Amino acid sequence: AEELAVYKKILKEYSITFCDSEKSIYEELNKSNFNLILMDIGLAGSKDGIEMTKDLKANQKYFKIPVICITSHVFIKQKEIVKQAGAEDYLTKPLRKTELIEIIERYRSDSSNK
């Protein structure tokens, strides 16, 4: 909950939707168009963030949406796992405001130009 409050404060100038499960991700994706997905690999539920990223990238409807995985692991192998899942990039926790905004702007503008 504390982590979520920090994200909301950092991202207050963006239109954002927070999801806490596989089900809520698909519900929101079916309701609205998104320019970017920030995926916590520690997503709770039947699928973690890596599996969800794989599913989204395999889905004809969602595969073009850039996915940035968020992880608390800084291992090189973790970066490989995230990339193999189809994510465009990844960030490590704790998130730094400048880094988060930079990556959002980079991929948001990339996706809006396609």
Domain tally, the chain: 1
Question: 99-113 pLDDT, tens per residue?
Answer: 999 999 999 866 554
Question: 38-90 pLDDT, tens per residue?
Answer: 999 988 888 999 999 999 999 999 999 999 999 887 777 888 999 999 999 99
pTM recorded for the entire structure: 0.86
Helix, strand, or coil (residue 7): helix
Q: What is the CATH number of the domain that holds 105?
A: 3.40.50.2300
User: What are the respective helix, strand and coil percentages of the chain, to the nearest 5?
Assistant: 50, 10, 40
Taking the alpha carbons of 16, 93, 101, 12 in that order, is the dihedral positive or negative?
positive
> Which residue segment(s) compose the domain that 45 sits in?
2-112
The confidence score (pLDDT) of residue 114 equals 46
Question: 27-46 pLDDT, tens per residue?
Answer: 999 999 999 999 999 888 88
Please check whether residue 36 is in contact with residue 68, taking contact to mean a CB–CB distance below 8 angstroms: yes
